[in-house]
Structure 1
Amino acid sequence: MKIKGSGFVIAGGGSGLGLTTALSLREAGARVGVLDLKQGEWDGAFAHADVADETGVDRALDALASEIGQLRGLINTTGIGHSGLSAGPDRKVTAEGFRRVLDVNTLGSFILAQAAAERMIASEADKQGERGVIINTSSIVAFEGQIGTAAYAAAKGGINAMTLPLAREFGPYGIRVVTIAPGIFETPMFSQARGPMVDWLREQVIYPDRPGDAVEFAEMVAHIVCNRMLNGTVIRLDGAYRVPSGRHDWWVD
C-alpha cells in the first residue's frame, strides 16, 4: 500500500511513538489524523477519544474522515500500565487497576481494529485488492514479563493473541493486521525516568547498545504499510533485548 495520499489515523499520536509516527507519515505525503485524550504537540487533524469507549472511537473516526478521507491505515500506539506486586505485604496491584489496563490496552486495541475494519471494508480496494492495514502496539513484556508486570503483560499479550485471528478474518477483505512489540525506547515517559535501575535497563540492549529511537518505530510502521506480505504476525523491535525476571521496582510505570 502506498503511503503518499493515503489516509491514516494514529491513536495515541499526541506524544511519544505515536507523535513521531504521525509526523513521519505526514512528511511522506500521507493524510494524517490523530485520535488521543490530549492533542499534545500534534498540530494537525485531531479528535478526542478514550480508546476503551466504543462510541467515542466511532465518533472520532467519523470526525477525522472529513480531514483525511478514506481510512487506509490505523496505527494504535496507546497504552497504560499498572505495576507492582500482586500479593503479600507490599501488594499494589488492584482488580480495578488490572481491569483498566485491560480496557485500554487490550479492549481498546480491539475496538480500534473493529472500527477501522468496518470503514475499510466499505471502501474500494486498490489494484492489488488491498483496502488497508491495522497496526497495533504490544510490548516485549508480553513475552518476558518482569515481576510486578502481571497486568501489563496480560494486556499486551492479549494484543499479540488477537493479531492472527483478526488477520485471518479481515484478510478476505484485503485488510492486514500486524503488531509491533517494542523493547526499550526513548519515549518521554522513559527518558524522564531516573535511577540506577533505569540506567541498568538502558545498558541491556545488545545492538545497537542504546534504547530505540521513536524514528525507528516510525520506520517499522512505514515498512509494514508498504510490504503486503507482513500480515498476521507480531514483530519484536528490541535490539535483541530480553527482559530479566528482576525485582518489581525495576519496572518503569
Structure 2
Amino acid sequence: MRIDGNAAIVTGGGSGLGAATARHLAAEGAKVAIFDFDAERGAAVAEEIGGLFRKVDVSDAEAVGAALESAAEDLGEAPRIAVNCAGIGTAARIVGREGKLSIDVFERTLKVNLFGTFNVMSHAARLISGLEPLDGGERGVIINTASVAFEDGQLGQTAYAASKGGIASLCLPAARELAQFGIRVVAIAPGLFHTPMMQCLPEEVTKKITENIPFPDRLGEPHEYALLAGQIITNPYLNGTTIRLDGAVRLPRR
C-alpha cells in the first residue's frame, strides 16, 4: 500500500518513536493525525508536519473511539494506516523492599501498553473495514509496538514485559481475524533506542548498555523505527508477525 495520499494515525506521536514515525509518514505524503497524552509535545509535532493533534488517553476505549471519529472527519477520510507507539516504561520488582508489592504498577502498565494498543487497533479496524479496498484487496495496515523485552525481560520488568508480550501474542490472531477485511497487522519489537527514557540516563550507564549490542554497537535511532514502519506499510506480504529491530541484542538478566 502506498503511503502517499493516505491518512494515518500515530499514537505516542509527540516524542520518540512515534514522533519520528509521524514525521516520516508526513514526509512521504500521508495525512497524519497524532494522538498523545502530552498535549504540548503532540501539538508541536503536529504543527511541524502539518498534521492534526488529539489529546488522548489510549487506555480509555471510549475516548479513543471519539478521537478516531473526529480525526477521520477532519482528515476527510478514515485512516488506512494506524501505528501504535503510545506506551509507558515501568520498572518494579514483584516483591520489593519491605515486602512492597507492585500490583498497581502491573495493572497500570497493562492498561496503557496492552489495553491501549488493543483499544486503538479495535477502533481503527472498525473504520478501516468500511473503506473501499485497494488493488489486491487491501484496505489498511495496523502496526503495533512490542519490545525485545517480550522475550528478554529483565529484573524488574515483569509488568513491562508482560504488556509487550501481549502485544506480540495478539499479532497473529488479530491478523488472521482482520484478514477478511483486507487489514494487515504487524508488530515491531524495538531494542534499545534513543528515546526520552534513554536520553535521561547518565553517559556511563548508556555506555554500559550499548556494550551488549553486537552491531551496530550503538542505540537505535527513532528514524530507523520509522523507516521499518514505512517498509511494513508498503510491503503487502508482511502480515501477522513480530519483527525485532535491535542490532542483534539479547538483553542480559539485569
Verify: 1:67 aligned to 2:74, yes or no. yes
Among residues 179, 186, 197, which one is paired with 1:178 in the alignment? Answer: 186
Verify: 1:150 aligned to 2:158, yes or no. yes
Verify: 1:30 aligned to 2:38, yes or no. no
The aligned counterpart of 1:233 is 241
- CA separation of 1:97 and 1:29: change in aligned 2, threshold 3 A: same
The aligned counterpart of 1:83 is 91
**Number of aligned residue pairs:** 246
Q: Whole-Å Cα distance in 2 between the matches of residues 99 and 183 of structure 1?
A: 23
| 1:180-199 to 2 correspondences below 5 Å | 180-194=188-202, 196-199=204-207
1:90 Cα deviation after fit: 5.7
The aligned counterpart of 1:8 is 8
4+ residue runs over 6 A deviation: none
Q: Whole-Å Cα distance in 1 between the matches of residues 217 and 95 of structure 2?
A: 35
TM-score (norm 2): 0.93
- CA separation of 1:178 and 1:100: change in aligned 2, threshold 3 A: same
TM-score (norm 1): 0.94
Paired letter, 1:33 = A
- CA separation of 1:166 and 1:188: change in aligned 2, threshold 3 A: same
Question: Percent of aligned pairs with the same residue?
Answer: 42
- CA separation of 1:95 and 1:71: change in aligned 2, threshold 3 A: same
Root-mean-square deviation over aligned CA pairs: 1.3
Per-residue CA deviations over 1:209-239 (Å, capped at 9, x if unaligned) read: 1110111000000000000111000000000
User: Larger % of helix: which?
Assistant: 2
The aligned counterpart of 1:250 is none
1:191 Cα deviation after fit: 1.3
- CA separation of 1:88 and 1:222: change in aligned 2, threshold 3 A: closer
Q: Whole-Å Cα distance in 1 between the matches of residues 210 and 178 of structure 2?
A: 38
SS in 1 for 2:136: coil
Paired letter, 2:190 = P
Residue segments in structure 2 that go unaligned for 5+ positions in a row: none
Range 105-114 or range 75-84, more displaced: 75-84
SS in 2 for 1:110: helix
- CA separation of 1:103 and 1:88: change in aligned 2, threshold 3 A: closer
| 1:87-102 to 2 correspondences below 5 Å | 87=95, 89=97, 94-102=102-110
Residue segments in structure 1 that go unaligned for 5+ positions in a row: 247-253
- CA separation of 1:49 and 1:174: change in aligned 2, threshold 3 A: same
1:203 Cα deviation after fit: 2.1
Q: Whole-Å Cα distance in 2 between the matches of residues 148 and 198 of structure 1?
A: 18
